[in-house]
């Protein structure tokens, strides 16, 4: 009897030890997951680009949260209650985030679909299985979580995850997906605000061109690139002729109109890779980068012609990199000397140093 009791007690003790070991392993795994998730949250919080934020959120859903698929559905401008819903990005069983237009083909269009309900605000999230009539995708894998990324009380998108290793919805992961979406939404708001503030700091308020500081920073970078690629650049200073007389005769409001028209002409005549800025007062600067000398001459000549066609009298002085100077300061001085020669020759034209 004693031997039977001891054997029973021993088996019970073994089972208890195994349970404790399993619980300890699960606690260790949970701690590791939370540590990794904390790092992912911190990474998302300091990321500046909205798309980069979304990509990091998708990766966090895969590892450490353990879902095999994560999709970001973009919610467009209102069209009815929810607005158009399109799959923007997807991570499927790996670390490569890709655009996912094909996912739209498997969106379930049955009435009561969770995508429309969550996008419209009928509910802020949804959890279900592939057996539910409201599952967002017809190829739903196991169970899913769908939650909103809200900005200014409206969804900018929906985060969808499925294919978790647990067979049924698991509350800790469900809550963490919602937390992940909330952090991503706040990070996108912060990134958008930062970009707006950066733009305000970099732009001239009247013409919306780069201000002097931002222009100088961009030019330094472009000249470094030209140096690496052994390409030329043309640095042009554009000065509005007799601008003080314009202000005296027609007032400062009309003078602002003239400056705005000059800025618009410069922007229209420049290429996407060129740098255009307002240097000070009635003086503008343009850097045509990554060119050869012949193209630099042609671009400045075209700019002068377009200004005259717009009935804008401007004098231009230009210098070529590297022959006219090896840095922005040297190029500016060379272009400035050429500008004075243009003015001495009768204005409303251009001269190269």
Identify the pLDDT of residue 75: 83
What is the Cα Rg of the chain in Å? 31
90 pLDDT band, cuts 50/70/90, is very high
Contact assessment for residue 277 and residue 214, using Cβ atoms and an 8 Å cutoff:
yes
Sign of CA dihedral 222, 224, 229, 235: positive
Tell me how far apart the alpha carbons of residues 92 and 70 are, in angstroms, rounded to a whole number.
7
30 vs 211, more confident: 211
When comparing pLDDT for 81 and 136, which is higher? 136
pLDDT at 257 over 70: yes
pLDDT digits (tens, 9 = 90+) for 270-290: 998 899 999 989 999 999 999
Confidence at residue 94, expressed as pLDDT on a 0 to 100 scale: 78
Q: Tell me the pLDDT tens digit for each residue of 100-125.
A: 876 665 665 566 788 888 888 888 89
pLDDT at 73 over 60: yes
Confidence check: pLDDT of 76 > 80: no
Torsion of CA 99, 104, 105, 111, to 10 degrees: 160
Residues in a beta bridge with 75: 85
Helix axes 171-202, 212-229, angle to 10 degrees: 100
pLDDT tens for residues 172-184?
899 999 999 999 9
CB atoms within 10 A of CB 183: 21
Entry pTM: 0.63
Task: Classify burial at 142, counting beta carbons within 10 Å of its beta carbon; exposed 0-12, middle 13-18, buried 19 or more.
Answer: middle
Q: Looking at residue 77, what is its pLDDT?
A: 62
Distance CA 290, CA 293 (A): 10
Residue 85: what pLDDT?
Answer: 78
Q: What is the pLDDT of residue 351?
A: 96
Give the rounded percent of residues in the chain with a pLDDT score beyond 90. 59
**Averaged pLDDT for residues 76-105:** 73
Token pair recorded at residue 335: 């272009």
Q: What is the mean pLDDT of residues 43-66?
A: 91
State the average pLDDT over residues 206-221.
93
Q: Is the pLDDT of residue 238 over 50?
A: yes
Tell me the pLDDT of the chain averaged across its residues: 87
Q: How confident is the model at residue 54 (pLDDT cuts 50, 70, 90)?
A: very high
Contact predicate 312/266, CB 8 Å: no
> Which of the given ranges, 87-91, 109-113, 315-319, has the highest pLDDT on average?
315-319
Instruction: Enumerate the domain spans of the chain.
Output: 17-198, 212-352
CA distances, 221 to each of 43, 215, 286, 325 (Å): 27, 10, 14, 15
Residue 55 has pLDDT above 60, yes or no: yes
pLDDT (tens digit per residue) in 163-173: 998 889 989 89
Structure tokens at 147: 């939650």
What does the pLDDT read at residue 29?
65
Chain centroid to CA 178: 23
Q: Quick one: pLDDT at residue 152?
A: 64
Architecture of domain 17-198: 2-Layer Sandwich (3.30)
What burial letters (b/e) apply to 53-75, b meaning 16+ CB within 10 Å? bbbbbbbbbbebbbbbbbbbbbb
Q: Is the pLDDT of residue 81 over 70?
A: no
**79 pLDDT exceeds 50?**
no
Tens digit of pLDDT for each residue in 287-311?
Answer: 999 999 999 999 999 999 999 999 9
pLDDT band, residue 80 (cuts 50/70/90): very low
Residue 111: its pLDDT value, please? 62
Alpha-carbon dihedral 345, 346, 347, 350, rounded to 10 degrees: -40
Residue 1 has pLDDT above 90, yes or no: no
Report the C-alpha gap between 223 and 221 in whole angstroms.
6
Listed residue (188, 179, 157, 151) closest to 47, CA to CA: 188
Tokens of 126: 């949804």
Please give the CATH topology (third level) of the domain spanning 212-352: Alpha-Beta Plaits (3.30.70)
């Amino acid at each position: 009897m004693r031997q039977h009791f001891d054997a029973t007690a021993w088996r019970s003790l073994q089972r208890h030890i195994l349970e404790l070991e399993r619980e300890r392993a699960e606690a260790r795994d949970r701690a590791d997951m939370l540590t990794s998730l904390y790092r992912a949250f911190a990474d998302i919080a300091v990321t500046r680009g909205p798309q980069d934020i979304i990509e990091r959120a998708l990766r966090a859903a895969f590892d450490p949260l353990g879902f095999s698929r994560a999709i970001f559905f973009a919610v467009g401008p209102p069209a009815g209650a929810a607005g158009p819903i399109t799959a923007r990005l997807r991570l499927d069983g790996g670390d490569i985030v890709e655009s996912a237009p094909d996912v739209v083909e498997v969106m379930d269009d049955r009435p009561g679909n969770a995508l429309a309900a969550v996008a419209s605000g009928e509910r802020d999230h949804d959890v279900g299985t592939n057996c539910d009539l409201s599952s967002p995708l017809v190829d739903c894998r196991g169970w899913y979580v769908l939650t909103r990324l809200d900005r200014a009380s409206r969804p900018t998108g929906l985060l969808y995850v499925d294919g978790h290793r647990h067979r049924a919805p698991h509350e800790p992961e469900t809550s963490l997906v919602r937390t992940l979406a909330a952090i991503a939404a706040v990070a996108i708001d912060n990134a958008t605000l930062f970009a707006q503030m950066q733009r305000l700091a970099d732009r001239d308020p009247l013409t919306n061109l780069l201000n002097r500081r931002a222009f100088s920073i961009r030019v330094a970078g472009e000249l470094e690139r030209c140096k690496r690629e052994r390409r030329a650049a043309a640095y042009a200073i554009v000065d509005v002729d007799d601008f003080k007389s314009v202000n005296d005769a027609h007032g400062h409001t009309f003078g602002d109109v003239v400056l705005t028209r000059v800025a618009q002409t410069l922007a229209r005549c420049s290429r996407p890779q060129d740098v255009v800025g307002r240097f000070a007062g009635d003086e503008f600067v343009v850097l045509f980068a990554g060119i050869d000398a012949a193209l630099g001459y042609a671009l400045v000549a075209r700019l002068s012609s377009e200004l005259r066609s717009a009935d804008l009298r401007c004098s231009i002085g230009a210098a070529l990199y590297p022959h006219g100077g090896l840095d922005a300061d040297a190029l500016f001085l060379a272009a400035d000397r050429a500008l004075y020669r243009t003015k001495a020759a009768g204005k409303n034209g251009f001269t190269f140093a």
